[in-house]
Amino acid sequence: MKLRQLTIEKKRRREAYYFILPAFFYMLLVLGYPLIYNVVLSFKDVNVKNLTKGGSVFVGFQNYIDLFQNDTFLLVMRNTFIFTLACLLFQFTIGFAFAIFFSQKFRLSGPIRGIVLVSYMMPMAVTGLLGKNLFSNTGLINDLLVKIGVVGPEWLVDTSTALAAVIVMNCWVGIPFNMLLLISGLTSIPGEVYESASIDGARWGQRFVYITLPMMRGSIMAVLMLGFIYTFRAFDLMYIMTAGGPLNATDVLGTYSYMLSFTQFQFSKGSAVAMVLFACLFIVGLFYLKLLSKEDE
Q: Contact, 144 vs 135, CB < 8 A?
A: no
At residue 129, the pLDDT reads: 92
Buried b (16+ CB within 10 A) or exposed e, 119-143: bbeeebeebbebbbebbbeebebbe
pLDDT exceeds 90 at position 289 = no
pLDDT digits (tens, 9 = 90+) for 233-272: 889 999 999 988 888 999 999 999 999 998 888 999 999 9
| pTM for the predicted model, two decimal places | 0.87
Residue pair 224/183 in contact by the 8 Å Cβ criterion: no
Q: Specify which of 11-25, 38-52, 111-125, 159-173 reaches the highest per-range mean pLDDT.
A: 159-173
CA distances (Å), 272 to each of 52, 68, 104, 291, in order?
20, 11, 48, 29
SS3 state at 158 = coil
CA pair distance 155, 136, nearest whole angstrom: 7
Q: Are 132 and 241 in contact (CB under 8 A)?
A: yes
Q: What per-residue confidence (pLDDT) applies to 147?
A: 86
Confidence of residue 295 (pLDDT cuts 50, 70, 90): low
pLDDT above 70 (res 1): no
Q: What is the mean pLDDT of residues 107-115?
A: 79
Distance CA 100, CA 186 (A): 8
d(CA 44, CA 269): 9
Percent of the chain with pLDDT over 90: 34
Q: At 16, is the pLDDT very low, low, confident or very high (cuts 50, 70, 90)? A: confident
**For the CA atoms of the chain, what is the radius of gyration?**
25
Question: What average pLDDT does range 12-20 have in this prediction?
Answer: 83
pLDDT tens digits for range 61-97? 999 999 999 999 999 999 999 999 999 999 999 999 9
Give the chain's mean pLDDT. Answer: 86
